[in-house]
Every structure is written in structure tokens, then in C-alpha cells.
Structure 1
Amino acid sequence: MRTIAAVCGLLALLLGLPFAGGTTPGAVDAAAAGAVAHLSPGVVRVLVFPTEPYVVLALGLLAAVLSLRAGRRLEAALTLAVPVLAILLTSFLLKPLYDRWKNGTLVYPSGHTVSLVAVLTVLVLVTRRVLVVVLAAVTLLAAAAGLVGMGYHYLTDVVGGTLFAVAVVLVSWPVRRREPVPSTG
């Protein structure tokens, strides 16, 4: 997990460099905006819904409850603390550092995405279920379309936020050790 965290963190840091201090979208950003331009405002609002703070908080609380039910108190505490850490690092360190603007707001990496992906990553780690991975991926894709469609972010902001959130969660998460199999003899 630590290797994946390092790769994601490095990619998040590198992805923002070409756009630092600017407001101009890259070619991929422009193409993504064009791809979602046909969506109606109502559809785009629905797609961005999972990034709302009360939805993210509810998902975080679900992860904490699942951890507590499994008797994993450390993970329960981390389900709430690690996404907050990722959000704080994004808001107070990375956004000012990259200084990328859109509509008068710092946008790289996307704070909406960091909060959602941090909690979704925690849910995946807590549940370890393929269905949760699939639902998290679909939710992220929908939210990305919504964030770009609403004009809140460029696609690169969303990708950078995704990479950074995964990196922070994975580097902060305890490595599960396998329980030794009891001897029968």
C-alpha cells in the first residue's frame, strides 16, 4: 500500500505543475468540459451531489460504524481523522502552493474530490468488498462529470484531488497483519 501511496502522491504533485499559477485549461481539461457541456443543469447538480459535505460526512460515519462493529477502534478513529487531514493539507498547503484559479477560487487539487475520495477510499479499506470498489468508482466518475459540468473544476483538478486523497489515506492507514493460524498439535 505504501508504494501505491507514494506513486499517487508523486503523480498528484507532478500533475499540478504545468498549471501552477494559471487559469488556462489544458487540452484534456477543455476536452472534458466539452464532453459534459451537453448535460442539463439538473443532471449536473445530481452528479455533483456526492461531493456535498453532508453526504461525505454520512459516508465517513458509515465507515466509522462499520469499523466499530468489526472491533477495529483504531480504524474507526482513522475513518474520520484521515479525510480531515487530507482536506486540511489540500486547503492550506496544496491549493496556495499551486495557485491555480477558476472563477475566483483556488482549484488544484479539487477539495470536493479530496473529501469524497478520501472517504470512499476509507470505505473500500474498511469493507474490502469488490462491490464497494465498483460503487466508489462510479460515484467518482459521476462526481467528476458534475464538478467539470458545473464549472467548479477542471478535470486535472479532479484527477489531482483523487490521487492526493488516495495517497494520504493509504500512507496513514495501518497495515493489517495476518493473524497466525493456531497450532493444532
Structure 2
Amino acid sequence: MSGRAPYGLIAVTCAAIMAVLGFLVSGEGLSGPDDLAVKWVERTFGADTGLLRLLVLPTEAAVLIPVALLAAVLCLFGRRKPEAALTIVGPLVAIAANTWVLKPLFDRWKNTYLAYPSGHTVALVAVLTALVLLARPGLATAVIAIVGAVVLVGVTIGMIGLGYHYLTDVVGGALFAIATVCATWVLLTWAARRRAPVRSDG
């Protein structure tokens, strides 16, 4: 996996869109798309809280932590130290920055808690993005991306239906997670190249 491009551009683009969206919904309640999403979920899934909670399950720490640790261990066995670091550092940085910086900055409330960007989404998408970057280019990458997208759709429905988040909270969380993990990968590969010994031509 190469860290040169276009991960930096992806990180900047996603972060910029997340910031613009955040300022548009800052301090507000429902936006137009959020209202439509709530009505569609309520109409389609009703009050089936059992199904909705099942859809949200992939965002739980009990699911994400083992997945990230397993990926890190496999990378270490394969002597892929930057990749192992990515699976741990990327999600941790994303979660911490979201909790302590972005949520207070955008000041968007849902019930009694800050909601934008969605912390559940940040955790999930950060791990999924790391897995996509770790996969060998080709079929494996496509499969992980498709499965991840399906899981994210289900999680979005679950969180909207349970009243945890608005649609825009989820979108913002996904964008920030992608931006953070891609930026982390760029920094890790840059650091790895700086530490690599220079070959002698003599």
C-alpha cells in the first residue's frame, strides 16, 4: 500500500466538506434532509427497536476493538508496522478529536448530548477505512468497501430510528473518520520513509 497519493487529497476534501456541513447545522435541530430521513425510517421500520438495535451493533466497542486488534496483530505478523499502527492510531485519533474538539466546536444538540459529528459513526468508519487501506488492491479492497458501505447504511437507519442521531450527524462522522485515517496514513508512511536506511551505491 502506498501512502503518497491520493490519501492527502481525500483527507483534505472530506475534512472540508465535514466542516462546511457542520457549520450549516451548528446549533440547529432538524435540517431538511434530516427531517425526510426520520420520516422515511419511521414509515419503513416503525417501532421495531429490536431490529434497529441490531443494526447499530457494529458501532459498539465490543465489536470494533477486537476487529482493530486482530487487524493490527495480523499486520505485525506480516511485518507491516505502519499498517499495524494505522489500525490503532487512526481510530483513536479520530474518536478523541471528535469527542473533545469537533462536538463542542459545532455545538449541535440531540436531546441532552452533543451530536455532530456522530461518535458512533466516527468509530465505525475509522476502523472500516483502516481495513480498506490495509487490504491489497483489487477484489479484497472492493469487498471490504462494499460490505462496509452496507453496514454503514444499516447503522444509519438504526441510529435515526432509535433517535440517537440525525442523518447529517452520520454523514459528518463518516467524512471526519475517512479524513483522519487517511491523514494518519500519510503521516505514518512519511515517517517510515524518513526512518528507512538509505541504500549505498558504492
TM-score (ref. length: structure 1): 0.90
Q: How many residues align?
A: 176
Matches within 5 A, 1:128-167: 128=136, 129=140, 130-167=142-179
Question: 1:115 maps to which residue?
Answer: 123
Report the RMSD for the aligned CA atoms in angstroms: 1.5
Which residue of 2 is the match for residue 51 of structure 1? 59
Match of 1:33 among 30, 34, 38: 38
Match of 1:17? 23
Identity over aligned residues, as a percent?
Answer: 47
Per-residue deviation, residues 41-65 of structure 1 (Å, max 9, x unmatched) = 1110110000111111122112212
Q: Which moved more, 1:61-70 or 1:90-99?
A: 61-70
Displacement of 1:77: 1.9
Q: Distance in 1 between matches of 2:124 and 2:61?
A: 9
Moved over 3 A (4+): 174-177
**Inter-partner Cα distance in structure 2 for 1:155 and 1:69:** 39
Q: Measure the CA separation in 2 of the matches of 1:126 and 1:41.
A: 34
TM-score by length of 2: 0.83
* Aligned-residue offset at 1:86: 0.3
| Residue in structure 2 matched with residue 183 of structure 1 by the alignment | none
CA distance in 2, matches of 1:32, 1:58: 32
Mapped to 2, the partners of 1:96 and 1:30 lie a distance apart of 23
Question: Is it true that 1:105 corresponds to 2:110 in the alignment?
Answer: no
Q: Establish whether residue 74 from structure 1 lines up as the match of residue 82 from structure 2.
A: yes
Asked whether the 8 Å contact 1:56–1:116 carries over to 2, the reply is: yes
Is the Cα contact below 8 Å between 1:59 and 1:120 reproduced in 2? no
Verify the 8 A CA contact 1:63 1:122 in the aligned structure 2. no
Does the CA-based 8 Å contact 1:51-1:116 persist in structure 2? Answer: yes
Deviation for aligned residue 1:72: 0.4
Uncovered stretches (5+) of structure 1, i.e. residues with no partner: 178-185
String of CA shifts for 1:132-174, please: whole Å, max 9, x gaps.
1111111111111111111000000000000000000001104
Q: Note the C-alpha offset of 1:70.
A: 2.4
Equivalent in the alignment of 2:100: 92
> How far apart, in 1, do the equivalents of 2:31 and 2:82 lie?
41
Which ranges of structure 2 fall in alignment gaps of 5 or more residues?
Answer: 1-6, 193-202
Matched-pair contact (CA < 8 Å) for 1:68–1:76:
yes
